[in-house]
Amino acid sequence: MKFSERVYRETSLIPRGRVATYSHIARRAGSPGASRVVGNALNKNPNPGRVPCHRVVRSDRRPGGFASGTREKINLLKKEGVLLDNGKIPERFFL
C-alpha cells in the first residue's frame, strides 16, 4: 500500500469532533518523520467526503493549511464542535 493510501486510511479513522496532528498520522502510517509528506498527501485528498483531512492539525495546535483555505478548515471544525481558543485547538479535542 502506498504511503498516501495509509495516510488516507488513518485520517478516515479520526472521529467527528476530534483532531489528530500531522505527526500522529505520520506515525500511524508507518513513517514517524514524514509529517510534511502527510500534509502533501492530504492536500491531494481524492475523496474529502470519506477522508476528513480538515481534522488533521499542526503539532502546535494551530489548524494548519487546507486546500480550500484555513478559514474553511476552521469552519468545518466548528461545525463538528471543535472550537479554537486564541487560534489554537484545546487539548481535549485531540485523539
pTM above 0.75, yes or no: yes
Helix axes 3-12, 35-43, angle to 10 degrees: 80
- Measured over the CA atoms of residue 75, residue 80, residue 85 and residue 88, the dihedral's sign is negative
If you search the block for the grid coordinates 487560534, which residue do you land on? Answer: 87
Catalytically annotated residue among 53, 56, 77, 89: 53
Q: Enumerate domains of the chain plus CATH numbers.
A: 3-90 (1.10.10.10)
Tell me what pLDDT residue 78 has: 98
The CA distance from 64 to 55, in Å, is 10
Active site residue 53: yes
* Number of Cβ atoms within 10 Å of the Cβ of 9: 14
If you compute the radius of gyration of the chain from its CA atoms, what whole number of angstroms results? Answer: 12
pLDDT at 44 over 90: yes
Q: What is the pLDDT of residues 68-86, one digit of tens each?
A: 999 999 999 999 999 999 9
Tell me what pLDDT residue 1 has: 86
Tell me what pLDDT residue 16 has: 98
Average of per-residue pLDDT across 14-38: 98
